[in-house]
A and B are shown apart, each in its own frame.
Chain A
Amino acid sequence: GPEKETKSQRKTYIVHMSKSEMPAGFEQHTHWYQSSLKSASESAEMLYTYDNVVHGFSTRLTVKEAELLEGQPGILSVLPELRYELH
């Protein structure tokens, strides 16, 4: 169905957040990340949240959802995941 179709169109993105811009209403940055993600996609879930290496999270999004998320306040960038290989 449409949900499956959306799922197959999704790619993994690394979402970089400007943690210092977290609105006052949030107690934890992860709640803010979750809220931002929900505003762009009802069904997308976080794969990982990051705090030491980058401020942000990884998630699966359609291109449209990624564009929508990129426009949200506090989002620095929504970058497609890269694939690396052993040397």
Chain B
Amino acid sequence: TTRTPEFLGLDKSADLFPESDSASEVIIAVLDTGVWPESKSFVDTGMGPVPSSWKGQCESGTNFTSANCNRKLIGARFFSKGYEATLGPVDESKESKSPRDDDGHGTHTASTAGGSIVEDASLFGYAAGRARGMATRARLAVYKVCWTGGCFSSDILAAMEKAIEDGVNILSLSLGGGMSDYYRDNIATGAFAAMEKGIFVSCSAGNSGPSSYSLSNVAPWITTVGAGTLDRDFPAFVSLGNRQNYSGVSLYRGSELPGRLLPFVYAGDASNATNGKLCMMDTLIPEKVAGKIVLCDRGVTARVQKGAVVKAAGGWGMVLANTAANGEELVADAHLLPATAVGQKIGETIKRYMSADPNPTATILFEGTKLGIQPSPVVAAFSSRGPNSITPDILKPDLIAPGVNILAGWSGSAGPTGLAADTRRVDFNIISGTSMSCPHVSGLAALIKAAHPEWSPAAIRSALMTTAYVTYKNGRNLQDVSTGKDSTPYDHGAGHVDPVAALNPGLLYDLTTDNYLSFLCALNYTSSQITILARRKHTCDPSQKYGVADLNYPSFAVNFDTTQSNGGGVIKHTRTLTNVGPPGTYKASISPQSPGLKILVEPATLTFSKVNEKQSYTVTFTGSSMPSNTNIFARLEWSDGKHIVGSPIGISWT
């Protein structure tokens, strides 16, 4: 990626991160659409021999041999039996029955997590710069589990099975499904086994935001990653016939529009279809759009597909307007024709102009790449949101990382839009999603693993979460692009990842397999359900009182039941901190304190005299009666004056 290393402070702190032996020992497994091994992001210059712990393979298949692997890309496998059993044989004329990535997504995520340094990377000159993965010295192993027809869980489980056997340290999955109980969700079951082997599992939170309860991959042994923006934009202005200019974004590069205003038509007025405004396939009337710029509404079909529809109908350009579902979030695309995306408010303004002017005109001006956009990061509208629908007492997502307009490696088999009609080929592409934020965290976890090889997956997550930030440098709270207001822990979890701080968190909330088994007991899982996850008999002790709130998680989700007599009550959460810094005394603070809720930390001071010393504390939440659906948010911080160990708190009355 370009820009994200600087945005995350990795460039200034290069000497803090191990770049030699220990980093080269970390192996990141990426389960995705495969890999384009010829990408410069997988060049292995300067890398030492493959770690002796590695037991994996570079499998052969369509247009892929073991020679495609090297000291960077040390493994590549593919899993298609489940896919083929349901949808029939892989059509090898259309997709490679091998680890080769014909889509681009897998190459993008793998290069984001652990790609080598590539000078002069860009997409058509956009986002130009030195591209690198988060963990440039880590090794990559790619497991292809997604095909044209989807990603099937029998294949995903088989890939996780092999990845564990192969000896990977990090599992990165930028995919998800519906919301199922953990024992039914194959990613959750596979991740449990990986966690037991000390493998850090990072998964995308999903792109179903900004709706509440829209998260996927919420098991507490998974690190769930939402998406935020960078301080980078790709402005492309709409200039109207009334001399008003409005800002949008675009990655279009190609023939420019003629240097004059063109006729401008709303798609809804150039179609006989019910939803003509959406510019869906074969819905535009060519006579009404030929030679014009067309305004389309976002929704239902892919953004780039709408551009292709306008182009096929003879349109010269497109303005793509957000609707309420997306608000003011602007996602840039490498459209096939001159096009720009605008927010909902600007879209409405433009529509008013078009209604008022009998002969509306417009043109689009492309401005290239702009850096230093503030505020940044802001939570992406598409990033899935809490509360956690499976276990409301565990706060998810865990944190956010860059996931909007991310440049990274791409497949040589697909154009940047992914459309069949797109015959352009690029080395790098710019795309958005929690798919992009997840491998950022996977790569950063690899850096932390290299610096602290003895840390458990939960310890690594704790370091990432407790050091994440929730305010900008000016002290204001992180924003949510979908509302334009402060984001909450249901949107950003513990906050935006800060890898430099995560290297030295001071204190950790650690978790073992036994802790997770007690958590399953607290969920009242049956013996069979626990055996599915744990792969062994585990008997919950009937004399022990298990509580979900006792899971030593680095965040707090508290739920008051409004149907109870007083509609509030007292809820206690217990946590244990492990010192991984110098001896010190940490003091607790809670902010903000809200009316209707009292939060008490006991003890409020913890003194650690040596490394790995553990100290426990209890947080008591006393809530008064509140209407159902009330949410209050706060933050607990432990600080010794040098370290800040932060935990988000989400309190709901349901």
Contacts and interface: CB of A to CB of B under 8 A. Distances in A.
Q: Do A and B assemble together?
A: yes
Contacts of B146: 84, 86
Contacts of B105: 86
Contacts of B531: 16, 18, 76
A4 interface: no
B536 interface: yes
A48 B158 contact: yes
Contact of B85 (A47, A51, A55, A85): A47
Interface in A24-71: 47-48, 50-55, 58, 60
Given A12-B86, A18-B531, A53-B190, A85 B177 contact: yes
A4 to B, nearest CB: 13
A12 B204 CA distance: 25
A52 B178 CA distance: 24
A36 B187 CA distance: 25
Given A54-B193, A54-B532, A86-B32, A48 B154 contact: yes
B131 interface: no
Interface in B103-160: 105, 146, 150-154, 156-158, 160
Given A52-B165, A81-B152, A87 B438 contact: yes
Contacts of A47: 81-82, 85, 154, 158
Contacts of B82: 12, 47-48, 58, 81
A11 B156 CA distance: 16
Interface residues of A, number: 27
A87 B175 contact: yes
A48 B164 contact: no
A87 B32 CA distance: 10
Given A53-B157, A60-B85, A83-B150, A20 B175 contact: no
Contacts of B186: 14, 81-82
B207 interface: yes
B153 A14 contact: yes
A78 B532 CA distance: 11
Interface string B149-193: 011111011101100110000000011111010011111011001
Interface centre among A16, A54, A58, A85 (most CB of B within 10 A): A54
A82 to B, nearest CB: 4
Interface string B425-459: 00000000111001000000000000000000000
Interface in B64-99: 81-82, 85-86
B156 A84 contact: yes
Please tell me the size bucket of the interface on B. Answer: 35 or more
A14 B85 CA distance: 13
Contacts of A11: 86
B13 to A, nearest CB: 29
B535 interface: yes
B413 to A, nearest CB: 16
Given A18-B531, A76-B532, A87-B438, A58 B150 contact: no
B175 A86 contact: yes
B190 A12 contact: no
Given A81-B82, A87-B433, A50 B152 contact: no
B180 A82 contact: yes
Contact of A76 (B32, B207, B438, B528): B528
Given A47-B81, A52-B193, A87-B175, A81 B434 contact: no
A86 B151 contact: yes
A18 B532 CA distance: 8
B176 A85 contact: yes
Contacts of A14: 153-154, 157, 186
A85 B180 CA distance: 15
A12 B153 CA distance: 9
5 nearest CB pairs, A to B: A58-B154, A87-B204, A87-B435, A53-B190, A84-B177
Given A12-B85, A82-B178, A87-B204, 19 more contacts: A12-B152, A14-B157, A52-B197, A53-B164, A54-B193, A58-B157, A77-B183, A79-B184, A82-B180, A82-B184, A83-B177, A84-B153, A84-B177, A85-B150, A86-B105, A86-B433, A87-B206, A87-B435, A87-B438
25 contacts: A12-B86, A14-B157, A18-B528, A18-B531, A48-B82, A48-B154, A51-B161, A52-B160, A52-B197, A53-B157, A54-B189, A54-B193, A54-B535, A58-B82, A58-B157, A60-B85, A81-B152, A81-B153, A83-B151, A83-B152, A84-B152, A84-B153, A87-B174, A87-B176, A87-B434
